[in-house]
Structure 1
């Protein structure tokens, strides 16, 4: 990908630093919540509801995915007042998911390098005291989970694009002591390849997200063998068939990879999963479909309900029928589960982490952070930031705030694409971005 560097872009980064001092902005809703990167700054709040969805095709389908530049000198994420950020590492090939081991080590999936890297930070610092490659020779690794959950895991599970493997682990290991053992094999790997994993709090269930093999099931036959009616009787609600069978789903297994079952369907690309500490609920952040216009459909974060169907490919955000499948599955009308938090279209959410640390102000406790990678399918850029989902008494309010911005420096230039997010053992927030291959540590106060 061609990279560009310009003094004008750097000047814009520095000028927009003043915006980071503005917090507690008015709540933006409806069309006012759409905006673009120029309106983004820490503290901006948004609330989108299903009725705010525009009709499809109000704008032409745009392509706007280029413009990646080297990170300008001194450029860093812009944060709300009171927060600071330090660089942990740079020059990494493709840092994606980051997860924190019980002892505090940062495990980072370097997907293009086919590695899992480990960073052990000096106490109270962003400076790594030790770094290591925990495992290599993997296949586009992404999701990482420690098993069993708790203080003394014995395995590190890794979601490759085509399998789930596990490697032996003891507290403090910087390198795996054995080769990967395949737990789940033969996962379809084309198109959406980011497989995330998570364990239920009791450790009895391994969750696996498998994204779709296309935008809207273009290669799927019109009907399954035997017809739609017979298929629907024998499969989970909303299950796709043919080239999309077992995709756009969240699956579940026993920790040994046996007893496969389907948790939910119609999630086009659940690229990030986590378990909410307060409730034990599984959460997904989902990349929705493209080519319906700049603001259609909304992306989302949601608690994943057992047996639920979230719409793909026939419907989106409830009973909004995709015009490209008009009349194809009227049997599913009224059966589409609405997601919990709607996010601006084409933001490309990739990961989610609930804040359960002690470093941030008390009102952050129980809220969630979501990384928005940014999408190509919009005339003016959106996404490319980290947002905070608001919760009250363990339930989402539907509102979200801009938390970390500043990754875009001009209409045609950006230096960062947020991917991974995790809460460190000391309460700091760890962020990865794969535009320039950096890892960051965010803290509050002195």
Structure 2
């Protein structure tokens, strides 16, 4: 991985700070005011974006504005709200992506570009690994990780490659796979969006798999499927795509052995992160929406994945907004796309989601969700490069989200961190991975137990 020399900058800009906690009287940023960039980001800033806040397409030009990666300044740490602190677990990892916590507390991390899954066993109450190793190698861009059956004594570790789902026999405490992988699902199309996430239903009967689109807005799919659009629409789920996009931009479901595959929901351009909400058992995903329509359209989102639902891609977005590049192609789908539950700034690139069910963060965090935003490239002024908190009340999202971890941006041209994975450790700490400098962090709250 190529990294660029960082700008000379004081590490004190990055230390955990209490100065940026949101004041009780600070207003929630709404509508156009919510469409800020990285310069407005700080722990405690809240935003609320509704579907009717979206500007029209092409209000701004489509930007190509990727950030260069800088070396992490000496001593730099993420910025957090008052009372929280971050400790470094590991650094120098090639490409740490999804992190999942085994029932015994071990951290399983997909090192995607290295084609392996790493494992870390932390010393009690510490970020220092007591043991670590390579659980499995010779994979193919591994991303999603899940333990089966759900509960305290899983027998398998499932890993989602870009083109397959495999599983390894597992016994509690294994730091290295004891045998070769067994292929459960194969022939998954792997080009373009390659991040495949997986999750099991609470009862363990269903394996969910997300498969992102093969393009931005189905440029190579063609106007109609073979045999005609009417016949296709009658024989397939609502909003199903064809040709090069057949079986893509979907969440799929299988039996745990990989059999009896079916489409759960369509029109999810790139559901890069999935999880089950502990309070309700509902499947959630975070979605990277399409590019090329301007700085603030369409919103990225987090949503419950409803069985049989259509979320718009490629013809519509965020409800009944027709993509001008597919105009007039599917009038039969008008008004049929679900509006997602939580909208986030366009081009933020959400990659993973985890609900907080630990006991060491303040009580108001219980039941909320954390989302890792990898950061924008298709935006004139960059956004993302942070971890945000989605607010819930009685198990339902309020639509608001709050900056929780910032400080990864060095300047208008460089960043040192790009968050990817979030998970809640058994001791209540939040584990965060970022693949800019290849680091893993343990975030705790000073409650006397961390």
SS of 1:229's equivalent in the other structure is helix
CA RMSD of aligned residues (A): 1.2
Matched, 1:316 2:317: yes
Instruction: Give, in angstroms, the shift of residue 229 of structure 1.
Output: 1.0
- Structure 1 gaps, min length 5: none
87-96 vs 9-18, which deviates more?
9-18
Q: Give the alignment's TM-score, normalised by structure 2.
A: 0.97
1:136-215 to 2 correspondences below 5 Å = 136-215=137-216
CA distance in 2, matches of 1:262, 1:121: 38
Instruction: Give, in angstroms, the shift of residue 10 of structure 1.
Output: 3.6
Instruction: Give, in angstroms, the shift of residue 11 of structure 1.
Output: 6.3
Instruction: Give, in angstroms, the shift of residue 4 of structure 1.
Output: 2.8
CA distance in 1, matches of 2:15, 2:22: 13
CA distance in 1, matches of 2:22, 2:327: 45
Tell me if structure 2 keeps the 8 A contact 1:23–1:44: no
Instruction: Give, in angstroms, the shift of residue 85 of structure 1.
Output: 0.6
Matched, 1:102 2:82: no
1:287 is matched with which residue? 288
Instruction: Give, in angstroms, the shift of residue 13 of structure 1.
Output: 2.8
Give the count of matched residue pairs. 445
1:356 is matched with which residue? 357
Tell me if structure 2 keeps the 8 A contact 1:23–1:80: no
CA distance in 1, matches of 2:69, 2:86: 22
2:5 is matched with which residue? 4
Tell me if structure 1 keeps the 8 A contact 2:96–2:435: yes
CA distance in 2, matches of 1:15, 1:442: 13
SS of 1:309's equivalent in the other structure is coil
Instruction: Give, in angstroms, the shift of residue 349 of structure 1.
Output: 0.2
| CA separation of 1:22 and 1:378: change in aligned 2, threshold 3 A | same
| CA separation of 1:391 and 1:295: change in aligned 2, threshold 3 A | same
1:52 is matched with which residue? 53
Tell me if structure 1 keeps the 8 A contact 2:347–2:383: yes
CA distance in 1, matches of 2:60, 2:206: 43
Instruction: Give, in angstroms, the shift of residue 75 of structure 1.
Output: 1.1
CA distance in 2, matches of 1:413, 1:12: 17
CA distance in 1, matches of 2:118, 2:139: 12
CA distance in 1, matches of 2:202, 2:23: 35
SS of 1:408's equivalent in the other structure is coil
2:259 is matched with which residue? 258
SS of 1:243's equivalent in the other structure is helix
Deviations 1:143-190 (A, max 9, x none): 000000000000000000000000010000000111000000000000
1:229 is matched with which residue? 230
Instruction: Give, in angstroms, the shift of residue 221 of structure 1.
Output: 1.2
1:335-414 to 2 correspondences below 5 Å = 335-414=336-415
Tell me if structure 1 keeps the 8 A contact 2:105–2:121: yes
